Amino acid sequence: MLSQTHSLLGRLARWLRALGQNFLLWSRGWWQVLFTGAQLVVLAFSPSSYHGQGGGAVLRHIYAAAGPGLAGFTTLMALFNVVLIRIVVVTAFAYGLSQYALNMVVRVLVLELVPLVAALFVAINYSVPGGSELYKLRKSGALESMRRRGVSPLEREVLPRVLAGMFAVIMLAAVSCTISLILTYLAVHGFTLAGIPSYNRAVGHIFTPVVLMIFVLKTGLFAFAVALLPVGNALRDIPRRARASVELQGLVQMCALMLLIEIASLVGNYY
The reported pLDDT for the residue numbered 109 is 86
In a domain, 51, yes or no: yes
The reported pLDDT for the residue numbered 35 is 84
The reported pLDDT for the residue numbered 167 is 94
**Are 77 and 177 spatial neighbours (Cβ–Cβ below 8 Å)?**
no
- The predicted-structure confidence for 137-154, as pLDDT tens digits, reads as follows 888 888 888 888 877 888
242 phi and psi angles, rounded to 5 deg = -65, 135
**Are 227 and 128 spatial neighbours (Cβ–Cβ below 8 Å)?**
no
Domain that residue 136 falls in: 30-270
**Are 121 and 73 spatial neighbours (Cβ–Cβ below 8 Å)?**
yes
In a domain, 98, yes or no: yes
In a domain, 193, yes or no: yes
**Are 65 and 129 spatial neighbours (Cβ–Cβ below 8 Å)?**
no
In a domain, 15, yes or no: no
The reported pLDDT for the residue numbered 6 is 59
In a domain, 4, yes or no: no
In a domain, 39, yes or no: yes
Residues 6 or more apart whose CB falls under 8 angstroms from that of 53 comprise: 156
Q: How many CB atoms lie within 10 A of CB 140?
A: 10
**Are 244 and 252 spatial neighbours (Cβ–Cβ below 8 Å)?**
yes
The reported pLDDT for the residue numbered 213 is 93
Amino acid (1-letter code) at residue 136: K
Number of domains into which the chain is organized: 1
pTM of the prediction? 0.86
Share of the chain above pLDDT 70, in %: 90
- Low-confidence residues of the chain: pLDDT under 50: none
To 5 degrees, how large is the angle CA 268–CA 270–CA 271? 70
In a domain, 179, yes or no: yes
In a domain, 143, yes or no: yes
H or E stretch at 67 = helix 53-94
The reported pLDDT for the residue numbered 10 is 67
